[in-house]
Amino acid sequence: MTQVTARYYDGKTSQQREVVIWAEPGRLRVIGDGVDFSCAIAEVRPSPRVGNTRRHLRFADGSLCETEDNDAVDRIFAGLPSEAPGRLIHLWESRFGYAALALALTAAALWAGITYGIPALAKQVAFSLPPSTEKALGRDALAGLDRVLLSPTRLPAARREKLRALFSRLASGLEGAGDYRLELRSSKRLGANALALPSGVVVLTDQLVRLAHSDDEIAAVLAHEIGHLRHRHALRRLLQDSATVLLVAAVTGDLTSIVSLASALPAMLLQAKYSRDFEREADEFALDTMQRHGIPAESFAAILLRIEQRRGASADVPDYLSTHPATRERAARSRAAR
């Protein structure tokens, strides 16, 4: 029989009384000055053990007992399933090595979730998105870019038609590419650039068209952007940066909520922070496409290096290199594909 010394409070006044709690098979008996009652152990709610703080035993009538004898309380309630979590917490708290291991495991799980879990979930959601939702997202994103970054193209009509025909040839034969289209714009802020938007839209700036020395170089850039479309990189990056919306979409299946992210897409594209893996995937797709169409791989290296030269010293700053493969790396890969 387990005996516990405690202080008793009736729950109606602040008066405390010294009592002794006797643990009998399946029951507790509380005896003290003016106190004598018993009840089933299952009806008593003990507070969880946290370090060596005092424990409270709450009774059905609102009264409670307070004691410092944690070990005795654990013995009394050891058989109750509801106490298992509290005992486990105390076990970890009382052993520093276990606590350190728990912290390390938590940190590792968090790192793995951010590094692998969120990107994998973003990819799954991106490829499960209904076409209507993706079209709405792309439409709203292009409208946002037109408001803040882009202006109408100034290229001659004949040149525009030739570029659209080039884009159509590169996209021909690709499954699901029927809705892919090229949008030509001018942008002093973006300069020589191209962007892939959800729903199959590629934006090409007049500045890049003028920078290119041949249509083969423009084809290399367009093929790269089609690679971003095929892998849904813009949408995946947007989802990765919006973990809350991503988790809601994945858990509830309500993928239409992703349209609300359209307002954030222009800013994300302006920062151009595709991961190295995304850039490599798009580069590999571009090189394969160029090979199929007989376009020299050297054209890709040439336009990449020329764009980098136009950007100047900013291409060598760590923040840029942390999110894009170095130009020389990408150019070397394209030359190796010859």
Residue 262 pLDDT grade (very low, low, confident, very high; cuts 50, 70, 90): low
Tokens 């059905």 found at? 60
In the chain, which ranges are E strands?
2-9, 16-24, 27-32, 35-40, 45-46, 55-58, 64-67, 151-152, 181-186, 194-197, 201-205
* Greatest mean pLDDT range, 19-23, 101-105, 310-314: 19-23
Q: What pLDDT is attached to residue 63?
A: 93
Smallest CA-to-CA distance from 338 within 291, 280, 293, 285 is with: 291
Residue 4 sits at the vertex; the CA angle it makes with 35 and 36, to the nearest 5 degrees, is 15
In this prediction, residue 313 has a pLDDT band, given cuts at 50, 70 and 90, of very low
Q: For tokens 């993928």, what's the residue?
A: 255
Instruction: Decide which of 40 and 85 is more confident.
Output: 40
pLDDT band at 121 (very low <50, low <70, confident <90, very high): confident
pLDDT in tens, 188-243: 888 888 999 988 999 999 999 999 999 999 999 999 999 999 999 888 887 776 66
Four-point Cα dihedral 325, 326, 328, 329, nearest 10: -30
Looking at the structure, give the CATH architecture of the domain made up of residues 2-86: Roll (2.30)
Give pTM, 2 decimals.
Answer: 0.59
Cross-strand pairs, 27: 24, 40
So what's the pLDDT on residue 35? 94
3-state helix, strand, coil in the chain (%, to 5): 60, 15, 25
pLDDT digits (tens, 9 = 90+) for 125-153: 767 667 777 788 888 889 989 998 899 99
pLDDT of 274 above 90 = no
The answer to whether 184 and 194 have CB atoms below 8 angstroms apart is no
Neighbouring C-alpha atoms within 13 Å toward the C-beta of 115: 6
Of the chain, the percentage scoring pLDDT greater than 70 comes to 70
Residue 261 clears pLDDT 60, i.e. is over it: no
Give the position of tokens 């919006």: 242
- Looking at 20-24, 83-87, 232-236, 319-323, which range is the least confident one? 319-323
The pLDDT of residue 102 = 66
Q: What integer pLDDT is reported at residue 218 of this predicted model?
A: 97
d(CA 178, CA 62): 71
| The predicted structure's pLDDT at residue 315 | 45
- Find the mean pLDDT for residues 91-99: 56
Using an 8 Å Cβ cutoff, are 17 and 33 in contact? yes
Both tokens assigned to 293: 């169409």
Domain ranges of the chain: 2-86, 117-336
Confidence band of 327 (pLDDT split at 50, 70, 90): low
Average pLDDT over residues 64-74: 91
Return d(Cα 76, Cα 27) in angstroms, integer.
Answer: 10
What Rg, from alpha-carbon coordinates, does the chain have?
A: 33
Q: Are 249 and 240 in contact (CB under 8 A)?
A: no
